[in-house]
Chains A and B, each alone.
Chain A
Amino acid sequence: QQPVQSPQAVILREGEDAVINCSSSKALYSVHWYRQKHGEAPVFLMILLKGGEQKGHEKISASFNEKKQQSSLYLTASQLSYSGTYFCGTEIGGTSYGKLTFGQGTILTVHP
């Protein structure tokens, strides 16, 4: 069953912040975040392993709440280059390592 992302779309002005959520009904081993620009390949942003850790990548960070089976991606002081579709991919582990189930995506648009 695919994870649910919210919101489906968000529009920002440069410098504003955004949060994208990814929720699963299954116990997760990890959550992978990707960004895809139109006509391009998805680009890996970061992976969160179970344990509730938080990771950061420049002004983009993420957290994983194991209790809620939810991950959140935080984009601070957004830049025009942040525009694109953000996907979370969830992994339940065990014999299913590598088998990612992706959410429907969140379209982020950053305006000047």
Chain B
Amino acid sequence: AQRVTQPEKLLSVFKGAPVELKCNYSYSGSPELFWYVQYSRQRLQLLLRHISRESIKGFTADLNKGETSFHLKKPFAQEEDSAMYYCALGRQGGSEKLVFGKGTKLTVNP
């Protein structure tokens, strides 16, 4: 069974501090991992996916198959990063459905 765990419901950091949002997954096949973000009063949108290896808005995430993790990191948090972040798991090569974690609410304080 596919499962995504985001251990922190809430995460609060100060502006300029590093931030790491944790995501661990359980899946017997080849995974494809995503981070989605929901800013206040906006719809969910894709932030990044592991296969693209991009850095979006200063965020990066590396898939660690040994630790079954896909943590989201940013070296210097900004106030506009405050949002709800969801880690999602699919099947490599594509899948009709994603399994989402319960989400982490990030607050970046001035």
| Chains A and B are bound partners | no
